[in-house]
Amino acid sequence: MKLKESKELGVNALIFLNPKRDSDIRTLLVPAPVYVALLHYPIRNRHGKLVTTAVTNMDIHDIARSARTFGVRQYFIVTPIEEQHELVGRILGHWRTERSREYHPDRFEALERVRLVHRFDEAKEAIHQELGEWPEVVLTDARPLPNAISYSDYRKELVAPHRTRPVVLVFGTGWGISDTFYPEVHRILAPVYGPEGKEGGYNHLSVRAAVAVILDRLFGH
């Protein structure tokens, strides 16, 4: 099997060649550059009040591994609290040593892509600095919101030829992202539902599970 860049199909397209079966020549589309941001502020608590949540160790690891699996370029952990930067910085430092690279190469490779920032602005600036373009900000939410786009539609957009604009998928902690964040948002993804769809009712995935499912729906093989 061979991957060959195709000029005709645009910068995001590759032609996938299976030499054993001529009829099986098909196009493998490479999506736009994607980033993930996990917000710990501005967040709603159970009463709808604006709060800052704490970073959890499991959110660092699980989301880093999912991000690495699905080709995410960087995973931004956003928290304004200085003590959390010290704590998370120490955890990341532990996993970024040479010893860890040898003994836990999978963890090392995943956690390499984690970046700790104070404000969401810093994530956007980092993306702009890396690629020279400002990202499209995509909100995920467990509640149905107006103008939400389906996963299959957005997946198609991301692999459209000549699309280069990066995307940052934004996930919340606590009881979800506060409305005060909405002015930042360009696009909204539909909630994740089980087999019964919207009528089924229960959609209380952990943020770790939601990130995995949403990345798979947009970028899974």
For its own copies, the binding residues (CB under 8 A) are 1, 30-31, 58, 61-62, 65-66, 68-71, 106, 109-110, 192-200, 202-206, 208-213, 215-217, 219-221
- Of the two residues 88 and 110, which places its CB atom closer to its own copies in the complex? 110
For 190-211, b where at least 16 C-beta lie within 10 A, e where not — what string? bbeeeeeeeeeeeeebebbebb
- Exposed/middle/buried for residue 15 (C-beta within 10 Å: 0-12, 13-18, 19+): middle
Q: For tokens 């995943």, what's the residue?
A: 110
- Min dist CB 212 to its own copies, Å, is 4
- Min dist CB 137 to its own copies, Å, is 21
Question: For residue 152, what are the contacts with CB-CB under 8 A and spacing of at least 6?
Answer: none
User: How far is it, in rounded angstroms, from Cα 207 to Cα 140?
Assistant: 10
- Of the two residues 45 and 184, which places its CB atom closer to its own copies in the complex? 45
- Min dist CB 219 to its own copies, Å, is 5
Q: How far is CA 146 from CA 46, 150, 182, 213, in A?
A: 22, 12, 12, 21
- Of the two residues 85 and 155, which places its CB atom closer to its own copies in the complex? 155
- Min dist CB 140 to its own copies, Å, is 14
User: How far is it, in rounded angstroms, from Cα 166 to Cα 133?
Assistant: 7
- Min dist CB 124 to its own copies, Å, is 23
- Of the two residues 73 and 85, which places its CB atom closer to its own copies in the complex? 73
- Of the two residues 82 and 221, which places its CB atom closer to its own copies in the complex? 221
User: How far is it, in rounded angstroms, from Cα 102 to Cα 132?
Assistant: 34
